[in-house]
Amino acid sequence: MTLVQVAGPWVAARAARLRGEGAFEVLAAARRLEAGGREVAHLEIGELDVETPPHVVEAGLRALRDGDRRYSAPAGLPELRDAVAGALSTRGVAADAGQVVVTSGGKPALFAALLALIEPGDEVLVPDPGFPSFTETVRFAGGIPVGYELDAANAFALDPEAIAARITAATRVLVINAPHNPTGGSVRTEAALAGIAALAQRHDLWIVSDEVYARLAFAGEPRSVAALAPERTVIVDSFSKSHAMSGWRLGYLAAPPAIAPALERFVIHSASCTPPFVQRAGIAALTGPADFVDTTRRRLVRQAERLVAGLNAVPGVQCQRPAGSLFAFPDVRGVLAGTGEGVDALARRLLQDHGVAVLPGTAFGAGGTGHLRVSFATTSRNIGLALEGLAASSRLQEVS
């Protein structure tokens, strides 16, 4: 094992190489400003600004009051696993409860899936730009992340041909994410899913399908590639985005029967189990009234339209309408050309000078250069403040 010395004892190189996530770093900086009395418009974190549905909260509280506070089966409560399998049928997935493994959030699910599938030296195709945990987890597992482009000219859609061009003899896993973080694009069409399933079959690949935002696609019923390649696909999903349960930490994996026991062992040796009262809340989320998700989706559509229209009215900014998720991904290279700064510096200045917390696109890989990630899962006031801050930054061009 390779060891490196940091400020103190020796640690394994894989731990030293593991980097943080930009959203939480910007959130911490924004909280420091707020502690000093500044008002900050939070558009940096992927979190709904509404409360968890009351029936979901009550289910969790009732479980606590009833004494549901002990260990449960590592793979999850049978009732929740069954509810997840039923919910996946709306995406065309024919899964049973035995294929579902419950986790304490979406990230542990992603971590387990990639560590279970990657051998040292394997190449793993990840979207660029893409969620930073994809790349970091691949590296942690000893794999080699290989980015595939999501083209703005194609609305950041999944492009099987572009993905195929990156496949080599060393490629083992393909990671897809739709609707996509950070662009809000990449919604799955039947043709794209069929192309991806065919690639996996032709090249003997595993697919890790991040479907955390599937319920927040703005049009049409969500579809999963697992409907077309069930024996090769591991689904990663969570309750954080769809049911405003980010702090509850509840996610799951849905996998082929051959790999599900290995994924369960990751839970056994990391968390032992997901708290049962949290799982009871998850059951209520999936089996209770569906109006919360529908209402949330409609509100997000309105917020996205307002944000995108405002962004496109700012000189030097171009932004496509998202097809889902919580994010827009404006191209701000016109602003940068006038100010002479990079996108990281622009994001810092928006926070320090205008109290607007957004993420530089570079937090999501080289493909994010010249872009910002802006969350519209926030208040109308915050959206207004963000537009004012960007407009003020754009006016620097006129006086420079």
Q: Where are the domains of the chain?
A: 3-51+292-399, 54-287
Amino acid 110: pLDDT: 98
In contact, 84 and 72? CB cutoff 8 Å:
no
**144-149 and 123-128 beta bridge pairing:** parallel
Amino acid 400: pLDDT: 43
Architecture field, domain 54-287: 3-Layer(aba) Sandwich (3.40)
User: What is the side-by-side order of every strand in the sheet holding 372-375?
Assistant: 327-328, 372-375, 359-360
Residue with tokens 């900050």: 40
pTM, entire model = 0.93
Amino acid 399: pLDDT: 40
Residue 234 DSSP SS3: strand
Q: Does domain 3-51+292-399 have CATH number 3.20.20.370?
A: no
Neighbours of 141 (CB within 10 A): 19
Amino acid at 22: G
Retrieve residue 203's tokens: 């090249």
Amino acid 111: pLDDT: 97
Amino acid 259: pLDDT: 95
Residue 171 DSSP SS3: strand
Residue ranges, the chain, pLDDT below 70: 1-9, 395-400
